[in-house]
Chain A
Amino acid sequence: MSWISEDSSSLLSRFCASILKAGPMPRHVAFIMDGNRRFARKRHVERHQGHTQGFDKLAQTLKWCLDLNIHEVTVYAFSIDNFKRSKEEVDSLMELARNKFSRLLEEIDNLKKHGVCIRVLGDLKLLPKDIQVLIAHAVVATQHHNKCFLNVCFAYTSRHEITNAVREMAWGVEQGLILPSDITEELLGKCLYTRHSPDPDLLIRTSGEVRLSDFLLWQTAYTCLVFQSVLWPEFRVWHLHHAVLQYQANYTAIQKAREAQQAESVRHEYHADLEVLCAREGNEDENELMLATTAGERMQRTQMFLRVLCVSSHMSLNSGSPPKKSRFMYVYMC
């Protein structure tokens, strides 16, 4: 099956979608697609068939999201912890990935038509080399598409992602690109794998589990969390609509909390700039002009640091060779 389902939505679901769209809508939805194996047991089929059905459900869900004008979707496809599963299951999941990424390259025109940009987030060096190459080709082929975005977390855990980002910031300080006082929440966010995406507005986990399982821990701090008991291959458009309704019910309160947090971040940045200025000038005068200059210098440093990280990432992808160990290591070796 294709990456985006071409089946037309029912009249009723399109009608309900139009009603939902009258209210606040999430721009970015994250899915923990849980329940494939339990579905396979329930239907008395092999596990790999459960995972295949799970992929087909992803394709349908992406279509439903497009119908709701949700233009960014992040999915938790494979965790680093999933390598603990049996060799047979891991191999079948890798084979499924091989097939689907190869299929993606075959239907590149369809993806171009929908303007779909595919990003794959994770520690890709843990994957077989041929899959790394397929992923690199898929990401490069769609990198200029900008109508909707599909982030596939593959060989991913959030703690690994955060640790990587903190190491990159530590490297930036070591290289003199940024000061320790330049490290802020916002900079950490821009060093994560998801730096090109806004934080998810809504996270849906299926199969009844009520934990995040090391998925987007930092990014979902102010996300509406919806846990549903349906198994992922049985997920229907009504489950998605119900989740969006819950997002709408929580919208005002979460927005208020997010704004308070952003105001707090601005306050922290102000005090950090003040400390730098005081250390430099040797006094504690809050000279507005000099503070603005200090803030401007901080922003220039962080922009330069982020450009260095971005360049190393692009060089790694466009060479057609497998991505390097991490951006941090690649730039260091150069």
Chain B
Amino acid sequence: MCPSLRSQADAGSATTCQAWWRSTLTLPRRPTHIGVVVTGTRGNRASVSPRELATLVVWCVAGGVSFVTVYDALGECSICIFHDDLNARGVTLLDEIVRRHKEILQADWSKFPLEIVDSRWKTSSQKCEWLPRSLHMRYLEKLKGLETLKHFLVVILTSSSLPGFPDPDLVLRLGPVQSTLGYLPWHLRLSEIIPMHSITYSNFLEALHTFAACQPRFGK
């Protein structure tokens, strides 16, 4: 990655989404779908806070990623995320994403709309119009289970992938555990699995550059 861009990111001075967008345009290969796998804890707390996760999702928007899945492997963030009753006390990841979306993208937030699909494969009531640069996000709870099996049967019978989502190109593994802990096993076929030790913009750009440098051979 360009040293000056890294220092800019670390200093927090690259704050406009246009600058971030430009920095990823030169990459020969960009992910269409990023899977974010949250593993492990730090002490008694989740290894990643909802605010950090929300920030990462918004960076994906600014980086031109169209699809994001967030997988909470150990359920440590679940106290804050995705209850059936969205009026539950505490901050939800949804609320945090909407808040950070406007904070980070500022005047440009409406150019990068979000469509957030919940874990039961139903679209949320706040469905956005499909736009080429819109971000579609899905939150997954421990998908290696019967729901996955039923989904496998659907996949085999209909030859469709994750409904409406392509397979993840890039999996960002957050937290100390060197495993995907059950994240979308069927869909991981060709995903590049890259660790992200902490959620900083320079680490995110580093991961995108590492992804761009990977050369899939598809068996050849």
Contact = CB atoms under 8 A, between A and B. Distances in A.
B191 A82 contact: no
B192 A211 contact: yes
Interface residues of B, number: 36
A81 B219 contact: yes
Q: How large is the interface on A (under 10, 10 to 19, 20 to 34, 35 or more residues)?
A: 35 or more
Interface in A173-232: 183-185, 188, 209-214, 217-218, 220-227
Contacts of A218: 185-186
Contact of A212 (B153, B178, B182, B188): B188
A261 interface: yes
Contacts, number: 114
A42 interface: no
A217 B180 CA distance: 10
A191 to B, nearest CB: 11
A302 interface: no
B185 to A, nearest CB: 5
A325 interface: no
A-side binding surface: helix, strand, loop or mixed? helix
A166 interface: yes
Contact of B181 (A163, A170, A210, A257): A257
B185 A217 contact: yes
Interface in B15-43: 39-40
B209 to A, nearest CB: 13
Contact of B218 (A81, A184, A227, A257): A81
Name the residue in B193, B218, B219 with the highest tally of chain A Cβ atoms < 10 Å from its Cβ. Answer: B219
Contact of B182 (A83, A184, A250, A257): A257
A159 interface: yes
A146 interface: no
Nearest to B195: A210
Contacts of A217: 185-186, 188-189
Contacts of B210: 210
Given A221-B180, A221-B181, A257-B177, A214 B152 contact: no
Name the residue in A158, A167, A217, A265 with the highest tally of chain B Cβ atoms < 10 Å from its Cβ. Answer: A217
B144 A79 contact: no
A225 B219 contact: no
A211 B193 contact: yes
Contacts of A253: 39-40, 176-177
A250 B178 contact: yes
Contacts of B156: 163, 166-167
Interface in A222-255: 222-227, 246, 250, 253-254
A147 to B, nearest CB: 28
Contacts of B149: 166, 183-185, 188
B194 interface: yes
A85 interface: yes
B107 interface: no
A112 to B, nearest CB: 35
Contact of B179 (A82, A163, A254): A254
9 contacts: A79-B219, A211-B192, A212-B191, A217-B185, A220-B180, A221-B181, A223-B179, A257-B179, A261-B142
Given A81-B219, A217-B189, A221-B181, 20 more contacts: A81-B220, A159-B189, A166-B149, A184-B146, A185-B146, A209-B214, A210-B210, A211-B190, A213-B219, A218-B186, A221-B182, A222-B179, A222-B182, A224-B179, A227-B193, A250-B176, A250-B178, A254-B181, A257-B182, A268-B146
Interface of B: 39-40, 73-75, 142, 144-146, 149, 152-153, 156, 176-183, 185-186, 188-194, 210, 214, 216, 218-220
State the 4 A-B residue pairs at the shortest beta-carbon distance, nearest first.
A81-B219, A221-B182, A253-B177, A217-B185
